[in-house]
Amino acid sequence: MAPRDMDSLLPQLLSFPPHPPVPLADVAYDREVRSLRKVLNDTPASLLTAGVPNGGDLLDILDPSINTLPFLYVLLAHSNAGKQKAPTIGSPLWHKALDFLRTFDSVQVRYVGMEFRRLVMFVRDVALAGNKPIAAVRPLGAAILRLDPSGSCFTSTHVVFVHLCLEAHAFRAATTILDKDIYEFPSSTRTLPSGDLPCSRHDTSSSFITDKSELSDTFTYREPLHYFLYGAMIYLALKDWRRAILFLEFVLTAPSKSHSSHIQVEAYKKWVLANLLAYGEVPSSLPKTTNSQVAKQARTLGKAYEALGAVFQYGIPKEHDVRRLNAEVHIGHQKWSSDHNLSLVLQVLDAYRQSTVAKLESTYVALPLSEVGQRTSPNPNDHTETAHYIAAMISSGQINAIIEQTGNNPGSWVLRFGSSPRQTEQHQHEELKKQVAKTAKVAEHVRETDRKLSLNKEYISWLKQKADMTAAANAGEDPAITLEQTAFEDEDLLSGP
């Protein structure tokens, strides 16, 4: 029976989890939390927002880290009640919502996925309405990792978070989520082992972030593409070219039936520029798993970028020909600007200069700074600017050199290559350790995927059919019927839920 007043409601809201804490078996925990959820679903919003004895309301009594379900329901009831006067950043309800996102019980919230997503969208909408998206960035990032500390299962909240980071230019904050590699998508409950409960211990987050849990909204192929494109744009802003290329290749190699999407075309343009910035060249072909029609259409619509790349690559050996690339950038200025890639193109122009300087290192032992300026600088007579530019390249490790100052005139100084140590052995060792740890993490996810497959009902049925077919063949019987059944089973596995 639904509670009729606060006196009957409050004891039920505080009944779970038990106090003092008592360990509950998974079945008992599941039963209790579902019972509480039913009470909350049956309670009218007007009662959830009503005052409590001695003043205040339920949000002043409940603790979001303990009473996660009732706190969330009360929050949402208040947010709906306040539609006539929308909550704002800094309001008491706003602060209560942020407290919840930072401290909620990560197991209890598995039972209220839809309500959790409603709160996420409430926080997003209030932040955008207040023209301050940055206010929602850290709370939502914390909520994603509180729900799934590995951050490895893609959800609709990932897209909301990354889009807010772009709006707020909160690029460094975005990496708390973007640096967590995505290995899985929400599972279909058809593919999960029977008997697993949301509150059970799960080896991977996709075992409880399922289509039934509603912890992620349903999405099409576009949402992952948006996530990886937005992520690539953030890495480009941080000048992490290689990570940006990886994200762009996720977009380009996404399954496609026949034609490229607008998102993939935009990814290709940025992919060309990112490769120029990272490696000084554009690969002769896209990744092998790219759909051939996607590759063809992307390259057709990205010809201006390919032309820029060709000038960059083949202009570098002509060390005096800086003007050619400048002209190409100037001609396509409107194109780069309308594609929102002008900043990247200007960085490509600077990267060309850096590449030209680096080219000198493989040819000369020493060179007057005035000559370096003639070969690489947009203003060859500004020797001071050339000296500052070269010094910055040396300090960042882009070239192995020193500047010999033989007077007060920078034009008389000499750039001498090969006079400073390269990457230290310790640095190389640290990079190797990172790669080993990353490989071990991938292997762990592969093993878990294999385990899930081995528990999948369809897979077990397929193995049984295969065993029957083998036994029939060994017995000299005709295995044709079994073979036909196995073919249908294969088709079901490939088509998915």
pLDDT in the model for residue 255: 86
Q: How far apart are alpha carbons 335 and 108 in whole angstroms?
A: 51
In sequence order, the 6+-apart residues with CB closer than 8 A to the CB of 172 are: 238
Which range is least confidently modeled, 93-97, 121-125, 342-346, 371-375?
A: 371-375
Which range is least confidently modeled, 137-141, 249-253, 356-360?
A: 356-360
| 436: its two tokens | 């080993």
Of the two residues 332 and 376, the one the predictor is more confident about is 332
Residues 152-208: pLDDT tens digits?
999 999 999 999 999 999 999 999 999 999 999 997 765 555 568 999 998 888 889
Please say whether the beta carbons of 81 and 38 come within 8 A. Answer: no
Residue 332, CB-side half-sphere exposure with 13 Å CA sphere: 25
The pLDDT of residue 270 is above 60: yes
| Cross-strand pairs, 411 | none
* pLDDT band, very low/low/confident/very high, at 494 (cuts 50, 70, 90): very low
pLDDT in the model for residue 29: 95
Residues 96-153: pLDDT tens digits?
999 999 999 999 999 999 999 999 999 999 999 999 999 999 999 999 999 999 999 9
The pLDDT of residue 289 is above 50: yes
Give the residue-averaged pLDDT of 266-284. 94
Q: Which residues of 440-473 are buried (b: 16+ CB within 10 A; e: fewer)?
A: eeeeebeebeeebeeebeeeeebeebbeebeebe
pLDDT in the model for residue 237: 96
In sequence order, the 6+-apart residues with CB closer than 8 A to the CB of 481 are: none
Question: What percent of the chain clears pLDDT 90, i.e. is strictly above it?
Answer: 54
pLDDT in the model for residue 227: 97
* pLDDT band, very low/low/confident/very high, at 445 (cuts 50, 70, 90): low
Q: How far apart are alpha carbons 155 and 147 in whole angstroms?
A: 11
Q: How far apart are alpha carbons 2 and 41 in whole angstroms?
A: 9
pLDDT in the model for residue 493: 32
The pLDDT of residue 485 is above 50: no
The pLDDT of residue 60 is above 80: yes
Mapping DSSP onto H, E and C, the string for 142-177 reads HHHHHHCCCCCECCHHHHHHHHHHHHHCCHHHHHHH
Q: Assign residue 169 a region (left: φ > 0; alpha: ψ between -120 and 50; beta: otherwise).
A: left
Name the DSSP class of 273: H
Which range is least confidently modeled, 223-232, 417-426, 427-436?
A: 417-426
Of the two residues 135 and 383, the one the predictor is more confident about is 135
In sequence order, the 6+-apart residues with CB closer than 8 A to the CB of 372 are: 357, 360, 386, 390, 415
How many angstroms separate the Cα of 136 from the Cα of each of 129, 225, 470?
A: 11, 22, 59
Give the residue-averaged pLDDT of 405-430. 72
Q: How far apart are alpha carbons 489 and 289 in whole angstroms?
A: 26
* pLDDT band, very low/low/confident/very high, at 462 (cuts 50, 70, 90): low
Q: How far apart are alpha carbons 352 and 437 in whole angstroms?
A: 34
* pLDDT band, very low/low/confident/very high, at 431 (cuts 50, 70, 90): low
Of the two residues 147 and 476, the one the predictor is more confident about is 147
Give the residue-averaged pLDDT of 423-431. 58
Within 10 A of 157 (CB to CB), how many other CB atoms are there?
A: 23
Residues 22-35: pLDDT tens digits?
889 999 999 999 99
pLDDT in the model for residue 480: 46
| pTM: predicted TM-score of the whole model, two decimal places | 0.80
Residue 144, classified by CB atoms within 10 Å of its CB into exposed (0-12), middle (13-18) or buried (19+), is: buried
Residue 407, CB-side half-sphere exposure with 13 Å CA sphere: 9
Nearest Cα residue to 184 out of 203, 201, 206: 206
pLDDT in the model for residue 490: 37
Tokens 């999960």, located at residue:
192
Please say whether the beta carbons of 281 and 317 come within 8 A. Answer: no
pLDDT in the model for residue 204: 87
Tokens 């947009």, located at residue:
378
**Considering the chain, what is the average pLDDT of its residues?**
84
Nearest Cα residue to 447 out of 93, 135, 183, 225: 183
* pLDDT band, very low/low/confident/very high, at 278 (cuts 50, 70, 90): very high
Q: Which residues of 102-118 are buried (b: 16+ CB within 10 A; e: fewer)?
A: ebbbebbbbbbbebbbe
Tokens 């033989």, located at residue:
406
Within 10 A of 385 (CB to CB), how many other CB atoms are there?
A: 15
pLDDT in the model for residue 321: 60
Helix intervals (H) in 287-382? 292-301, 303-315, 323-331, 333-338, 342-361, 369-376
